[in-house]
Amino acid sequence: MKSEEIRKRFLTFFEKRGHAIIPSASLVPENDPSVLFTTAGMQPLTPYLMGQEHPKGKRLVGIQKCVRTQDIEEIGDSTHVTFFEMMGNWSLGDYFKKDAIRWSYEFLTNKKEGLGLDPSRLYITVFDGNDDAPRDEESVSIWEGVGIDKSRIYFLEDNWWSPGDNGPSGPDTEIFYDLTKNGLGDMSLEEFKKADERQNVVEIWNNVFMEYEKKDGRVVGELSQKNVDTGAGLERITMVMQGKDNVFDTDLFTYAMAVTEKNISDENKNLTKEMRIIADHIRTAVFIVSDGVTPSNTDRGYILRRLIRRAVRFADILSLESEGMKKLIDSIVIKYENVYENVKSQQIKIQEEIKKEEIKFRATLKNGTKELEKIFIKID
């Protein structure tokens, strides 16, 4: 199933269950100065999770563009990316655990309306409880009710999700999928944790029950309403649906990876990690520029600058020239132009900004080399 079909099925499934479809907000947060980029699907909805009335009602569904750069050193492995799309359905003080869990299960496993994933490959984690909130036995019985065996449900204290130190938060129940060829079968908690570390199982869905408020990193009380916030990464779900073991082999990246490979020298074609880094960083840069950010030395502009410069460094290692970089940008625009209109309308600007930054960086590198040469001459 192509990513386009996954998007369509997700939105339709929840629309049929009373959710209003909302468009992705910009990557530049509109009313949250505490973060540089939108990092989660729920972020633009924070005021509504806190109790404000949303103009489209209490049930929403959407696919949100997100940027997270804290794991930048991990890019190139199977699942980390700096830009991703988060599919999410939200209940703003409406339905709670029962519907959220049942619908997530139904969407993932139903062949006709959902994705038709194999239920025997699912593993579930739930909140184990701590001083802030009790162990989530309710979610366990709902999971058992949909047919998940208790031996595949694990209690973890980490199952708590919040976007940061302040705002709505709560216990979550996460859904993992077994990627191995023969299937892992029943696992103890320890075996499950090891399978997670090895990326043999991968988290594909998170149901967060946002009923608490955090201030300065501490839970300070209950919210005025009980919300549901789900997060299902499109890249990972696509990977699972397409039977791949990494997100770079899915249709979301195939053009970008193919163009990168075609434009590098033959002896470098086995440097997969470096190619992935370039494709990832340039894809993120495309989306950041399309939302109006340009490279600079501060805040968002600085993150963009770092991404482009990092991509250029790896492009140099692989001998990917400027013309190849331009083709890579075009391939990303082609993949997303029907989903995000501003990627197409800003195509020239995106090309120009990335090119300008590439030139500046190369000039800086050249000057740096000259300075170094001078030092060596003096030492000699």
Q: Which residues bind ligand GLY (CB under 6 A)?
A: 40-42, 86, 161, 206, 208, 229, 231
Q: Which two tokens stand for residue 169?
A: 């938060």
Nearest distance from residue 232's CB to ligand GLY, in Å?
8
Least distance from ligand GLY to the Cβ atom of residue 40, Å: 4
Backbone angles phi, psi at 176, to 5 degrees: -115, 150
The nearer residue to ligand GLY, 63 or 333, going by C-beta atoms, is 63
CB of 156 to ligand GLY, least distance (A): 14
C-alpha closest to that of 286 among 320, 254, 331, 252: 331
Tokens matching residue 262: 């075609």
Residue number, 85 or 178, with CB nearest to ligand GLY = 85
User: Which two tokens mark 48?
Assistant: 């509504």
Nearer to ligand GLY, 231 or 324 (CB): 231
| Closer residue to ligand GLY in complex, CB, 208/264 | 208
The H or E element spanning position 133 is none
Q: Which is nearer to ligand GLY, 170 or 324 (CB)?
A: 170
Smallest distance, ligand GLY to C-beta of residue 19, A: 16
Angle, CA 341 vertex, CA 330 and CA 359 arms, to 5°: 40
CB of 286 to ligand GLY, least distance (A): 22
Q: Which is nearer to ligand GLY, 219 or 258 (CB)?
A: 219
CA-nearest of 235, 232, 231, 215 to 223 is 215
Could you tell me the smallest distance in angstroms from the CB atom of residue 229 to ligand GLY?
A: 5
**Interior/surface letters 350-365, b for 16+ CB within 10 angstroms, e for the rest:** bbebbeebbeebeeee
Is residue 179 within 8 Å of residue 189, measured between CB atoms?
Answer: no
Q: Name the residue number minimizing CB distance to ligand GLY.
A: 231
Q: Are 284 and 80 in contact (CB under 8 A)?
A: no
Of 42 and 293, CB closest to ligand GLY: 42
3-class DSSP state of 209 = strand
- Give the separation between CA 101 and CA 142, rounded to whole angstroms: 7
Q: How far is the CB of 231 from ligand GLY (least distance, A)?
A: 3
